[in-house]
């Protein structure tokens, strides 16, 4: 009996657009340019919005910005030391 319920649930979730949950907003409330809170679905695959790949990409971007900032800061410090030593001579 439990097996039939699972098959029915899987088939029904593929066919329907929403859920039967009363807390879930209707489809007409979720349509728009920007996603609204409480609309949509949880990430299932790593490439979905809010999935692991999105967080990994964000981490790589932040790390790259930190590396660029450190390189710029080191170049400015080296330039200032060079200018200070030239003016001191």
pLDDT in tens, 67-84: 999 999 999 999 999 999
Domain extent listing, the chain: 57-89
Contacts of 45 (CB under 8 A, 6+ apart): 51
pLDDT of residue 27: 66
Is-contact 43 49, C-beta < 8 A?
A: yes
d(CA 1, CA 20): 21
Higher-confidence residue of 33 and 57: namely 57
Q: What is the dihedral of CA 70, 76, 78, 81, to 10 degrees?
A: -140
The Cα 43–Cα 54 span in angstroms is 11
| Distance separating alpha carbons of residues 6 and 4, to the nearest angstrom | 5
DSSP E strands in 29-85: the ranges are: none
Which residue has tokens 């990430």?
Answer: 43
Tell me 26's DSSP state: P
Question: What mean pLDDT do residues 12-34 have?
Answer: 60
């Amino acid at each position: 009996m439990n097996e039939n319920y699972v098959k029915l649930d899987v088939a029904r979730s593929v066919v329907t657009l929403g859920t039967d949950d009363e807390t879930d907003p209707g489809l007409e409330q979720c349509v728009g340019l920007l996603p609204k809170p409480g609309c949509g679905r949880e990430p299932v695959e790593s490439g979905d919005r809010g999935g692991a790949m999105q967080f990994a990409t964000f981490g790589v971007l932040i790390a790259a910005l930190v590396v660029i900032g450190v390189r710029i800061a080191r170049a400015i410090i080296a330039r200032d030391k060079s200018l200070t030593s030239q003016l001191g001579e």
